[in-house]
């Protein structure tokens, strides 16, 4: 069992075709000079982040939750921006957002029926209790604010909305190291 520290995250993973398309988009943005680096994190939607939690309890819950989940489709059709923070005033995150769907919301909030008390500081914006939660998103990259306009123009020219499939939940240490993957049932 991998335990580097006591911080973990749970990621909803896309099908291989969607992952490749989003990785290619990141690489193209990097080659065009809009990104300083391509994230080591595979494209995903964060379902939760946890601190000071027993990893066995987290893995048991993810396994229990996932065993009754079926893969589901979603449309990745719009972009959003997480604005600069106090600690990083010169950068902002551009993300691709899934269109709201009953399946996405029911999966997310179903997952958060347990263990939210362990979200701590890193996971609170992903928790069901948070009143100012992050929007559902898949990060494209961290961009210098001086390049936001041209970066968005590039994305508008080079991105076509896609239908993605959520196929699994994965548990990682934070920083990133995969601990275990839980595949959803095929439809």
Residue ranges in the chain modelled with pLDDT below 50: 1-4
Residue of 94, 91, 84 whose CA lies nearest to 159: 94
Q: Are 8 and 49 in contact (CB under 8 A)?
A: yes
Give the residue ranges of DSSP H helices in 51-176.
55-66, 102-111, 120-123, 148-158
List the chain domain ranges: 7-183
pLDDT for 184: 97
Provide the CATH topology of domain 7-183.
Cyclic Phosphodiesterase; Chain: A, (3.90.1140)
pLDDT at 124: 63
The pLDDT of residue 3: 47
**Res 133: pLDDT:** 66
- What was the pLDDT predicted at 164? 96
Structure confidence at residue 148 (pLDDT): 93
Classify each residue of 34-51 as buried b or exposed e, where b means 16 or more C-beta atoms within 10 Å of its C-beta.
Answer: bbeeeeeeebbbbbbbbb
| Residues 71-109: tens digit of each pLDDT | 999 999 999 998 898 888 999 999 999 988 899 889 988
């Amino acid at each position: 069992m991998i335990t580097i520290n006591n911080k973990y995250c749970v990621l909803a993973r896309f099908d291989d075709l969607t992952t490749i398309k989003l990785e290619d988009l990141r690489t193209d943005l990097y080659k065009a000079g809009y990104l300083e680096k391509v994230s080591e994190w595979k494209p995903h939607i964060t379902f939760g982040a946890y601190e000071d939690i027993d990893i066995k309890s987290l893995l048991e819950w993810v396994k229990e939750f996932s065993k009754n989940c079926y893969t589901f489709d979603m449309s990745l059709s719009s972009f959003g921006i997480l604005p600069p923070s106090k600690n990083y005033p010169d950068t902002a995150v551009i993300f691709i957002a899934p269109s709201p769907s009953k399946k996405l919301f029911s999966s997310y909030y179903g997952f958060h029926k347990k263990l939210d008390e362990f979200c701590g500081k890193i996971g609170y914006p992903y928790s069901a209790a948070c009143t100012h939660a992050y929007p559902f998103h898949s990060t494209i990259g961290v961009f210098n604010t001086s390049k936001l306009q041209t970066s968005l123009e590039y994305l508008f020219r080079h991105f076509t909305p896609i239908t993605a499939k959520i196929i699994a939940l994965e548990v990682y240490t934070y920083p990133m190291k995969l601990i275990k993957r839980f595949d959803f049932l095929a439809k």
